[in-house]
Amino acid sequence: MPTKLKGMESLKRTKIRDLIQSEEWGKEVTAKGWVRTKRESKNVVFITLNDGSTIHNLQVVLDAEVIREEVISRIHSGAALSVTGEIVRSLGAGQNMELKAHEVEILGEANPDEYPLQPKKHSLEFLREIAHLRFRTSTFGAITRVRHSMIFAIHKFFNDKGFYNIHTPIITASDAEGAGEMFRVTILDPVNPPRKEDGAVDYSHDFFGRPTNLTVSGQLEAELAALSMSDVYTFGPTFRAENSNTSRHLAEFWMIEPEMAFYDIHDNMDLAEEMLKFLVQYALDHCRDDLEFLSKRQQEEERQKKVEDRSPMELREKLMFVLDNAFERITYTEAIDVLQNSPYNRKNRFQFPVNRWGIDLQSEHERYLVEKHYRTPVIITDYPKQIKAFYMKVNDDDRTVRALDVLFPQIGEIIGGSQREERLDVLLRRMKEMNIPEKEMWWYLETRKFGTVPHSGFGLGFERLMLFITGMGNIRDVIPFPRTPQNAEF
RNA sequence: UCCCCAAUAGCUCAGCUGGUUAGAGCGAUUGACUGUUAAUCAAUAGGUCCCUGGUUCGAGUCCAGGUUGGGGAGCCA
């Protein structure tokens, strides 16, 4: 316990989230935070203070006769303050209470000539360049709080359902998952690595004695756990070294991968839909003020856009819409049928015409189904086996697999998953067909050898969920420090 | 990786078919005024016109290459 100062009791700091709801007029409190704006008058100075605990700011009132001019003149946007004073009813509009300062301590100054954040709207592109400071904006404060709530809600959802969280490895030696280019993990000298006689790099001298990479998915390891613990999920970082330059891709992102024994593809779809709805409901229940701010922000941005590019629904309306409607569940074959007979296809308005069964669906096709045809989230299942991964369960027709994609408006694929192939002979055949090295996967195959059972799972891209919940348009703005090609600053 | 677009003051942007000293709003500073709400009014300061090369008497402006950013596509979550 810190020793109390004589005469002047040191007050415990109260968070602004709690302060602004207080009606304990006359109570002495201490607030700490960062200055958003300062407005000066002859006799009185107003400071809006924010400490990240809420989207709302605390109005601090400094009486020029109480607080020394020398202190007031050093307060600028961005400065950190500790303010002790009394809670009073606000005389102005815009807030119920304000803090009448008795004492102000400047914890950290901010030079106004250099501080880049101004009390005005900044472009998201500019804020990305100052990601170390963008938490101090209302927008990123809101996003950060919503992000936390979603992380928490995900763990709550699975915990309440009796799932166990599994930490799957971040460094992996298997490169057989086929989920994209990987980042190599090595301690070998890049200029002069040890070489074998044929000139190839000799990884037996590397840290693990073999080539290793950052994980592209925790699925295979999660399957191992599920085939013993029944229901498990992972929630960890995922790395893809793809040269993807879009508003929906990151080189480092977070993924939720539940894996369930005794689930078929229908159980899998039920879980995916239930989870997404739970998360949306949680956001609506727990992030009211932040969502309201983000909604207003989005509406202002929408006004700059062309009418046809505007989203038809306001943010919270869009979230409610997901809650109120059952996701449309269709097979790939049905999707092709709808697309082939669509007026869009007949009038040749697709860049990639839909002319035969077996083609991979392009994002324009997915968007048509979700935004134009069904006008609700869509789950597509039973894709041709040629365009899907080796571990997906082959259907009796031997041409489709029990894959599932959950498609959302604007975002596209938010979830990808499948029922897994549990039959050892079929799995081995599929691996041969797709040139997956059996030898490296011996541990995966043993789960099919010893007590194999039907099981299923899926992957939810956490940042894509965040795009949907916050209404933001670029995935780089829903993660604090985005990793993209040519960018690993901060 | 491919296609398209952009880069000018701290920020957002204007700058025409190449032509003298490159502008505005916001922000900052100073002053005035005021229980203010991104306060208001006035004045002041503030520029490697992204980089390299080329065309030209002359390039912020035209051309080539590059860098960075944005939108779209592919890959996917």
Q: pLDDT band at residue A259, thresholds of 50, 70 and 90? A: very high
Q: Which residue is nearest to nucleotide B34 (CA to C1')?
A: A41
Q: Which tops the pLDDT comparison, A174 or A224?
A: A224
pLDDT tens-digit series, residues A70-96: 899 999 999 999 999 999 999 888 899
Distance, C-alpha A83 to centroid of its chain: 35
How does DSSP assign A157-183, residue by residue? HHHHTT-EE----SEES---S-SS---
pLDDT tens-digit series, residues A353-367: 998 999 999 989 999
Q: pLDDT band at residue A303, thresholds of 50, 70 and 90? A: confident
Instruction: Specify which residues A254 forms β-bridges with.
Output: A237
pLDDT above 50: residue A194: yes
pLDDT above 80: residue A45: yes
Q: pLDDT band at residue A209, thresholds of 50, 70 and 90? A: very high
- Its ipTM equals 0.91
pLDDT above 90: residue A104: yes
Between CA A93 and C1' B6 the distance (Å) reads 42
Residue given tokens 């990305």 in the structure block = A128
pLDDT tens-digit series, residues A118-128: 888 899 999 99
Q: pLDDT band at residue A177, thresholds of 50, 70 and 90? A: low
Residue given tokens 């408006």 in the structure block = A409
Q: Which nucleotide is nearest to A461 (CA to C1')?
A: B77
Between CA A129 and C1' B53 the distance (Å) reads 29
Contacts of A455 (CB under 8 A, 6+ apart): A223, A226, A227, A259, A260, A261, A262, A263, A419, A420, A422
Rounded to 10 deg, the angle between the A288-304 and A315-324 helix axes is 110
How many angstroms separate the CA atoms of A99 and A274, rounded? 44
Per-residue confidence (pLDDT) for residue A227, from 0 to 100: 97
Between CA A239 and C1' B52 the distance (Å) reads 36
Q: pLDDT band at residue A64, thresholds of 50, 70 and 90? A: confident
Between CA A309 and C1' B74 the distance (Å) reads 22
Between CA A121 and C1' B77 the distance (Å) reads 31
Are A49 and A11 spatial neighbours (Cβ–Cβ below 8 Å)?
Answer: no
Q: Which nucleotide is nearest to A44 (CA to C1')?
A: B35
How many angstroms separate the CA atoms of A300 and A293, rounded? 11
Q: Which nucleotide is nearest to A76 (CA to C1')?
A: B28
pLDDT tens-digit series, residues A405-414: 999 988 889 9
Average confidence (pLDDT) over A255-281: 97
Average confidence (pLDDT) over A150-160: 98
Between CA A136 and C1' B5 the distance (Å) reads 31
DSSP strand E in A229-274: where? Answer: 231-239, 252-261
Q: Which nucleotide is nearest to A41 (CA to C1')?
A: B34
For strand B, which nucleotides have at least one atom less than 7 Å from a protein CB? 1-3, 10-13, 26-29, 33-39, 67-77
Average confidence (pLDDT) over A263-271: 97
Three-state secondary-structure class, residue A174: coil
Average confidence (pLDDT) over A159-186: 87
pLDDT above 60: residue A1: no
Per-residue confidence (pLDDT) for residue A59, from 0 to 100: 95
Three-state secondary-structure class, residue A489: coil
Per-residue confidence (pLDDT) for residue A349, from 0 to 100: 86
Q: Which nucleotide is nearest to A352 (CA to C1')?
A: B73
Average confidence (pLDDT) over A229-254: 94
Average confidence (pLDDT) over A220-225: 96
Are A466 and A150 spatial neighbours (Cβ–Cβ below 8 Å)?
Answer: yes
How many angstroms separate the CA atoms of A327 and A407, rounded? 9
Per-residue confidence (pLDDT) for residue A176, from 0 to 100: 59
Per-residue confidence (pLDDT) for residue A4, from 0 to 100: 44
pLDDT tens-digit series, residues A389-408: 999 999 999 999 999 999 99
Burial of A181 (0-12, 13-18, 19+ CB in 10 A): middle
Per-residue confidence (pLDDT) for residue A281, from 0 to 100: 97
Average confidence (pLDDT) over A131-154: 96
Q: pLDDT band at residue A419, thresholds of 50, 70 and 90? A: very high
pTM of the model: 0.93
Which of A117, A155, A154, A159 lies closest to A138, judged by CA?
Answer: A117
Between CA A140 and C1' B74 the distance (Å) reads 30
Q: Which nucleotide is nearest to A128 (CA to C1')?
A: B69
Within 10 Å of residue A87's Cβ, how many Cβ atoms?
A: 20
Task: Write down the mean pLDDT value for chain A.
Answer: 92
Lowest mean pLDDT among A7-21, A67-81, A419-433: A7-21
